[in-house]
Amino acid sequence: MECDCVKLSAMGKPVNTRPSPQLAAGGGPVEKAMELLEVLAEPGGPHRLAAIARRTGLAKPTVHRHLRTLAEFGFAEPTEDGAYRAGPRLLGLAATALHTTDAVRHAQPYLADLRTRTGQLAYFAVRDGRETVCIALSEAPRGHRTTLYPGARAPLHAAAPGLALLSALPDAELDAFLDSGPHPALTPHTRVERAALAETVGEATESGYAVDEEFEEQDTVGVAAAVHDADGRLRGALALRGLAFTLDPTSVALYGPMVRAAARALSAELGARAGALDLVRGQR
Amino acid sequence: MECDCVKLSAMGKPVNTRPSPQLAAGGGPVEKAMELLEVLAEPGGPHRLAAIARRTGLAKPTVHRHLRTLAEFGFAEPTEDGAYRAGPRLLGLAATALHTTDAVRHAQPYLADLRTRTGQLAYFAVRDGRETVCIALSEAPRGHRTTLYPGARAPLHAAAPGLALLSALPDAELDAFLDSGPHPALTPHTRVERAALAETVGEATESGYAVDEEFEEQDTVGVAAAVHDADGRLRGALALRGLAFTLDPTSVALYGPMVRAAARALSAELGARAGALDLVRGQR
DNA sequence: CAATCGCATTCCATCTTTCGGAACGGATGT
DNA sequence: ACATCCGTTCCGAAAGATGGAATGCGATTG
């Protein structure tokens, strides 16, 4: 979830004789359209216009106009009763994006491998601001019900992938993050204080993999390692997730290095991609 | 106050470039942003600004500004060398959209079932204008290499899912489509003439499933049936796809009814969902 | 080694588009 | 029948979008 505090409205407009002010509403139409898309993709079936208007803080006519535009292009699809759902164009775009993003494509085999070797749910997540988003996962065998689905988000500071990404950050950025705002506790185990968080991240840096000991959800443990490409740019994290009594400390100690190795191999592949491009270019 | 006398500064404004006729310009910024998103999702790794500008027919500064906005929101992600790829927010949105769209969710079990029972690749596609888009698929076993991936598109008139959707259309709409423009031939087998197409669709209407006999790709055969929800609204099509010598006429005759049955069951589920919604809403 | 090309980026004057409050009919539910 | 709530239309005012020209950078070329 995003809060509305993203406005920032760069250039400080001095005197703003604006008769209809307050609620931070808008920047450009593009930003609004993006918010709408995000709402459309959200769970909860088709959304009604008024509901969307409330959720986004936009005026009804504005939402209406944009939805019409989106619908016209197939990004939204109106239902019989005047609600809107994600349209075919958006779904197609979604499918294409997930399939063609190199990180996802290359991660897939590792996910499958990790899953079969550990029996746990394996997934790949990318960073989005102060959270991570799961964008690929390999279901654990036989209804190993964990509450994780594609698109699921978790705070950077309170789950394995986030911690792994933090541990791979330059010191300056890590400090900046640690200093930024309070880090809410999701469970009684969540590390919320700066020192504790820093220590947890530090351990991840040393071992090469991060461990989530019920930080995000009770009885749920995770292991993750960061993935980067040739430029050293962070691309995401490979992670395992399972119930605490299955992913006990012994298993974690066993699987951690496996996840780390997978992340390194994947990183190498992503680095190679640039080379592959050159190859293609040089080839017939 | 300055009189206009000293406006200086090359007043002349030689050619009052009023040309901007309307090449591929288009309309609002939202539409442009959508085009950009689509390009970002496309295969071929990160895209460079100039390339995008060319592909979309937009001016460089325009593309640049929009990409910056998209990047600011995490929908696009700039790479080191000034190119852009799909950003985390877009990927997250994509994952969420695909996972929460009821049609996709409910289709998944049927896809898995169809795949195991037929040994062919099973997929679900939705209509987008004059084409269909594959948005979910169940890989065929052992490297059954078929050229199909999530996001893949096919013309309505030349592939099983499209034909199935056409066969479920009201007569008026079907006629309108058949009359609209030439329907290009993708293989020597493609039905291109109105009469032939109408007949093919007619057969699908009667049997309840459509068959693609190498219309789209040589040596590739498909079987599909339309899926609709409680409102009678078309939601997509379940389909099988395989090599001609595997999906021979006998198999097609055998699998056709299976696909049809799956599509009906899925339709019933989607219908039920709407009913549940109405219940919740206390409607009607 | 210098000239050239292509790219990303910035600037700016013009004006097209957007924005949202208010008002309007049509549903729904009481 | 009344009170809401919703989707939709209208409109003036203002914000943002637009693309040509110009700049600086880097790689490719002669």
3-state secondary structure of A179: helix
Query: Final residue of a domain: which of B59, B90, B121?
Result: B90
Edge-to-edge strand list for the sheet holding A234-243: A153-155, A131-138, A121-128, A234-243, A220-228, A210-213
Query: Which residues 17-46 of B interface with strand D at a CB distance below 7 A?
Result: 17, 19-20, 25, 28-29, 32
Query: Are A49 and A138 members of one domain?
Result: no
CATH number at residue A73: 1.10.10.10
In a domain, A10, yes or no: no
Q: What is the pLDDT of residues A129-144, one digit of tens each?
A: 999 999 999 987 666 6
Q: Residue A108's closest CA among A96, A98, A95?
A: A98
pLDDT class for A43, splitting at 50, 70, 90? Answer: confident
CATH number at residue A234: 3.30.450.40
Query: Are A71 and A112 members of one domain?
Result: no
* Structure-token pair, residue A95: 């499918």
User: Residue A229's pLDDT is what?
Assistant: 86
Region B44-56: mean pLDDT is: 88
Ranking B15-29, B31-45, B134-148 by mean pLDDT, the lowest is B15-29
Residue B282, pLDDT above cutoff 80:
no
Query: Are A140 and A38 members of one domain?
Result: no
Q: What are phi and psi of A77, to 5 degrees?
A: -135, 120
| Nearest Cβ partner for A99 among B89, B149, B231 | B149
Query: Are B83 and B130 members of one domain?
Result: no
User: Residue B64's pLDDT is what?
Assistant: 92
Residue A279, pLDDT above cutoff 50:
no
For the CA of A99 and the C1' of D19, the distance in angstroms is: 35
| Nearest Cβ partner for B95 among A37, A134, A231 | A134
* Region label for A141, one of left (φ > 0), alpha (ψ between -120 and 50) or beta (otherwise): beta
3-state secondary structure of A63: helix
Query: Final residue of a domain: which of B65, B90, B115?
Result: B90
| Average pLDDT of chain A to the nearest whole number | 85
| Tokens 């009201």, located at residue | B170
User: Residue B272's pLDDT is what?
Assistant: 63
**Is any Cβ of chain B less than 8 angstroms from the Cβ of A31?**
yes
**Is any Cβ of chain B less than 8 angstroms from the Cβ of A50?**
no
| Nearest Cβ partner for A34 among B73, B98, B99 | B73
| Tokens 């065929």, located at residue | B140
Q: Do B34 and A75 touch (CB under 8 A)?
A: yes
Q: Do B88 and A134 touch (CB under 8 A)?
A: no
Residue A278, pLDDT above cutoff 60:
no
Do A153 and A42 form a contact (C-beta atoms < 8 A)? no
How far is C-alpha B236 from the geometric centre of its chain's CA atoms? Answer: 10
pLDDT class for B145, splitting at 50, 70, 90? Answer: low
Q: What is the pLDDT of residues B247-262, one digit of tens each?
A: 999 999 999 999 999 9
**Is any Cβ of chain A less than 8 angstroms from the Cβ of B143?**
no
For the CA of B61 and the C1' of C9, the distance in angstroms is: 8
Q: What is the pLDDT of residues B197-217, one digit of tens each?
A: 999 999 999 999 999 999 999
In a domain, A22, yes or no: no
Q: What is the pLDDT of residues B90-111, one digit of tens each?
A: 999 999 999 999 999 999 999 9
Angle at A130 between CA A127 and CA A132, to 5 degrees: 35
| Nearest Cβ partner for B95 among A37, A93, A135 | A135
Residue B54, pLDDT above cutoff 80:
yes
Query: Are B167 and B212 members of one domain?
Result: yes
Query: Final residue of a domain: which of A44, A59, A91?
Result: A91
Alpha carbons A191 and A96: distance in angstroms, whole number: 37
Beta strand B83-86 pairing with B47-48: antiparallel
* A42 CA: distance to closest CA in chain B (Å): 7
Q: Do A80 and B231 touch (CB under 8 A)?
A: yes
**Is any Cβ of chain B less than 8 angstroms from the Cβ of A149?**
yes
Query: Are B134 and B184 members of one domain?
Result: yes
User: Residue B144's pLDDT is what?
Assistant: 62
Q: What are phi and psi of B43, to 5 degrees?
A: -65, 165
* B276 CA: distance to closest CA in chain A (Å): 11
In a domain, B17, yes or no: no
* B74 CA: distance to closest CA in chain A (Å): 7
Burial-class residue A92 by CB neighbours within 10 Å (0-12, 13-18, 19+): buried
Query: Are B141 and B67 members of one domain?
Result: no
| Tokens 């669709």, located at residue | B201
* Structure-token pair, residue B109: 């079990």
In a domain, A108, yes or no: yes
3-state secondary structure of A210: strand
Give the residue from chain B lying closest to A235, CA to CA.
B88
In terms of average pLDDT, the best of A14-18, A78-82, A203-207 is: A203-207
> Any idea how long chain A is?
284
3-state secondary structure of A282: helix
Q: Do B88 and A28 touch (CB under 8 A)?
A: no
DSSP letter (8 states) at residue A147: S
Residue B69, pLDDT above cutoff 50:
yes
| Average pLDDT of chain B to the nearest whole number | 85
* Residues above pLDDT 70, as percent of chain A: 85
* Residues above pLDDT 90, as percent of chain A: 70
Measured between beta carbons, the chain B residues lying within 8 angstroms of A138 are: none
In a domain, A19, yes or no: no
The number of domains in chain B is 2
Residue A281, pLDDT above cutoff 80:
no
DSSP-assigned beta bridge partners for residue B124: B136, B238
| Minimum-distance nucleotide, CA of B82 to C1' | C8
User: Residue A143's pLDDT is what?
Assistant: 60
In a domain, B8, yes or no: no
* Residue-range definition of the domain harbouring residue B31: 24-90
Q: Residue A159's closest CA among A111, A223, A115?
A: A223
Query: Are B37 and B150 members of one domain?
Result: no
pLDDT class for B142, splitting at 50, 70, 90? Answer: low
Do B76 and B93 form a contact (C-beta atoms < 8 A)? no
In a domain, A23, yes or no: no
DSSP-assigned beta bridge partners for residue B240: B122, B223
Query: Are B73 and B109 members of one domain?
Result: no
DSSP letter (8 states) at residue A191: -
Residue A252, pLDDT above cutoff 80:
yes
Query: Are A126 and A193 members of one domain?
Result: yes
User: Residue A28's pLDDT is what?
Assistant: 83
pLDDT class for B6, splitting at 50, 70, 90? Answer: very low
Residue B5, pLDDT above cutoff 50:
no
In a domain, B35, yes or no: yes
Do A170 and A234 form a contact (C-beta atoms < 8 A)? no
User: Residue B71's pLDDT is what?
Assistant: 92
Query: Are A170 and A212 members of one domain?
Result: yes
Q: What is the pLDDT of residues A228-238, one digit of tens each?
A: 987 778 999 99
B32, B73, B77: best mutation site toward chain A, by most A Cβ within 10 Å? B73
Q: Do B80 and A129 touch (CB under 8 A)?
A: no
SS3 per residue for A229-272: CCCCCEEEEEEEEEECCCCCHHHHHHHHHHHHHHHHHHHHHHHH
DSSP-assigned beta bridge partners for residue B153: B133
Decide which of A211 and B140 is more confident.
Answer: A211
SS3 per residue for chain B: CCCHHHCCCCCCCCCCCCCCCCCCCCCCHHHHHHHHHHHHHCCCCCEEHHHHHHHHCCCHHHHHHHHHHHHHCCCEEECCCCEEEECHHHHHHHHHHHHHCHHHHHHHHHHHHHHHHHCCEEEEEEEECCEEEEEEEECCCCCCCCCCCCCCEEEHHHCHHHHHHHHCCCHHHHHHHHHCCCCCCCCCCCCCCHHHHHHHHHHHHHHCCEEEECCCCCCEEEEEEEEECCCCCEEEEEEEEEECCCCCHHHHHHHHHHHHHHHHHHHHHHHHHHHHHHHHHCCC
Query: Are B81 and B204 members of one domain?
Result: no
Q: What is the pLDDT of residues A236-247, one digit of tens each?
A: 999 999 999 999
